[in-house]
Amino acid sequence: MSDNGKPKFAMYWASSCGGCEIAVLNISEKILDVDAAFDVAFWPVAMDAKYKDVEAMPDKSITLTLFNGGIRNEENAYLAKLLRQKSVFLVAFGSCSSEGCIPGLANFSSGKDLFDTVYDTISTDNPEGIRPQYNWTTPEGLDIHIPVFSPTVRTLDQIVDVDYIMPGCPPESHQIAAVVELVIKALNGEAELPPKGSVIGAGGSTVCDDCPRERNIKKITKFVRIHQVENIDPDLCLLEQGILCNGPATRNGCGALCPQVNAACIGCYGPAADVADYGARMITALASVIDSRDPEEIESILDGIPDPGGSFYRFNLAHSLLHAAKSAWVGD
């Protein structure tokens, strides 16, 4: 790569869906600023590059690396370590790399269950029960190795040191644009970067604070699924209507988009500031508003939340205090 004096930029996807890359492209004409300010050193989704090219770069030669995706296998972990070594600023970009996100829900299941779901279901045509082998030698004598699958999905900061965290599934494009602008200004000496470890591109409060719906004293006597409500009051807090909304535990920054279109917050922006365990915060929030003192009645109200683990940890399981179900570790 020719040296044009520009700082280098990298973006990598580990265990993710690709939505984060689309969110970056969605910053529209600001992407030209990125191109003007940075030399793209490594971005597999946008341009061809080989891992050996990155391996050959001097340490700390990439100024900014946006790392999206969780750490699902050996290859993801290797790239996390490699990019940490080569980057000045490593950003855990998006929900997967900062908290595990939807792929992290696999931590509720054992590796065996996951493989059974993929290779051995009633609709799978696999009569010989073939499973992937990590190491195999072809008849021609070629040794093939595929990355070893880890017992659980881990977040980037569980593998390497992370400089900044940018939450969201995916991060909102206007937030990405603001962060890009700030980094460019900081490189020109016109602004200062926030302290290491900061959450960037998000607010410091909760989704409820950004939500325009009317809020009263909550007294919940029944939880309902959103399709069970005939007429959703468009102006009243969803939680007050018995719809499980994760707004009280979730960091703001998205602009409360979901509640504004009658969809409950599912928590993609991760835990609010100073929340150690997202699910615990949801349990605390709901316990305060369930209107019953009778254990049996409380149980029947809680029947309205059929999957508490999935509802309270939808995006945060890999970064929760318990991290995974026991079966994920012991293997059955």
Interface residues with another protein (CB under 8 A)?
55-59, 73-74, 77-78, 81-82, 85, 108, 148-152, 158-159, 276-277, 279-281, 283-284, 286-288, 290, 292-293, 295, 298-299, 302, 305, 307-310, 312, 320-330
* Alpha carbon distances (Å) from 5 to 36, 59, 71, 103: 11, 17, 33, 38
Q: Taking the complex as a whole, how short is the minimal distance between the CB of residue 135 and another protein, in angstroms? A: 14
Q: For the residues of 224-266, what is the DSSP string, one character each?
A: B-GGG-SS--TTB-TGGGTB---GGGBBP-S-SHHHHTT----
Q: Please say which residue, 27 or 42, places its beta carbon nearer to another protein.
A: 42
Dihedral in degrees, nearest 10, Cα atoms 34, 40, 42, 43: 40
Q: Taking the complex as a whole, how short is the minimal distance between the CB of residue 54 and another protein, in angstroms? A: 9
Q: Please say which residue, 23 or 71, places its beta carbon nearer to another protein.
A: 71
Q: Please say which residue, 32 or 224, places its beta carbon nearer to another protein.
A: 224
161-198 as b/e: b if 16+ CB within 10 A: ebbbbbbbbbbbbebbbebbbbbbeebeeeeeeeeeee
Q: Taking the complex as a whole, how short is the minimal distance between the CB of residue 302 and another protein, in angstroms? A: 6
Strand duo 39-42 + 8-13: pairing: parallel
Q: Taking the complex as a whole, how short is the minimal distance between the CB of residue 41 and another protein, in angstroms? A: 13
Q: Taking the complex as a whole, how short is the minimal distance between the CB of residue 66 and another protein, in angstroms? A: 20
CA atoms of 202 and 75, how far apart (whole Å): 29
Contacts of 137 (CB under 8 A, 6+ apart): 143, 144
Q: Please say which residue, 253 or 271, places its beta carbon nearer to another protein.
A: 271
Neighbours of 89 (CB within 10 A): 17
Q: Taking the complex as a whole, how short is the minimal distance between the CB of residue 276 and another protein, in angstroms? A: 5
Q: Please say which residue, 30 or 281, places its beta carbon nearer to another protein.
A: 281
Q: Please say which residue, 130 or 287, places its beta carbon nearer to another protein.
A: 287
Q: Taking the complex as a whole, how short is the minimal distance between the CB of residue 185 and another protein, in angstroms? A: 30
Burial of 4 (0-12, 13-18, 19+ CB in 10 A): exposed
Residue with tokens 């494009």: 173
Q: Taking the complex as a whole, how short is the minimal distance between the CB of residue 211 and another protein, in angstroms? A: 23
Q: Please say which residue, 39 or 181, places its beta carbon nearer to another protein.
A: 39
Q: Which residues does residue 87 pair with via DSSP β-bridges, in sequence order?
A: 62
ω before 147 within 30° of 0 (cis)?
no
198 is written with which tokens? Answer: 């900061």
Q: Please say which residue, 30 or 323, places its beta carbon nearer to another protein.
A: 323
Q: Give the closest residue to 93 by CA, choosing from 202, 215, 8.
A: 202
